[in-house]
Amino acid sequence: MTIQQAQQDVDEWIKTVGVRYFNELTNLGILMEEVGELSRIMVRKYGEQSFKESDKGKEVSDEMADILWVLICLANQTGVDLTKALEKNFEKKNVSDATRHINNPKLK
């Protein structure tokens, strides 16, 4: 699935099953909640905190997919073509960060 296809599929699902998009501010709040859920699982899986009973069965991949879903909703609502945005971001990073990381002694 391409990013463009994902944007189309999410839009179709929202309009048929989801009835309508939540407003942009609500979706921003939902995005922050989903990032928090990912953080909680990451801290427990890769960090030093132990799992709580309520965390069991939750997967990093599911939390990442939830974040992607809401991000796609926001992109659709605001007219952002995520494929073009990501391509532009790669171009920016290839110019501004072309030698930054290679010359960083902390990464060697």
User: What string of pLDDT tens digits covers the 108 residues of the chain?
Assistant: 999 999 999 999 999 999 999 999 999 999 999 999 999 999 999 999 998 888 888 999 999 999 999 999 999 999 999 999 999 999 999 988 888 888 888 988
Task: Determine the Cα–Cα distance for residues 17 and 101; give it in Å rounded to an integer.
Answer: 45
**pLDDT recorded at residue 56:** 83
Task: Determine the Cα–Cα distance for residues 92 and 48; give it in Å rounded to an integer.
Answer: 35
Q: Which domains does the chain carry?
A: 3-81 (1.10.287.1080)
CA atoms within 13 A on the CB side of 24: 7
**pLDDT recorded at residue 84:** 98
**pLDDT recorded at residue 107:** 87
Task: Determine the Cα–Cα distance for residues 31 and 34; give it in Å rounded to an integer.
Answer: 5
**pLDDT recorded at residue 89:** 95
**pLDDT recorded at residue 28:** 98
Task: Judge if pTM exceeds 0.85.
Answer: yes
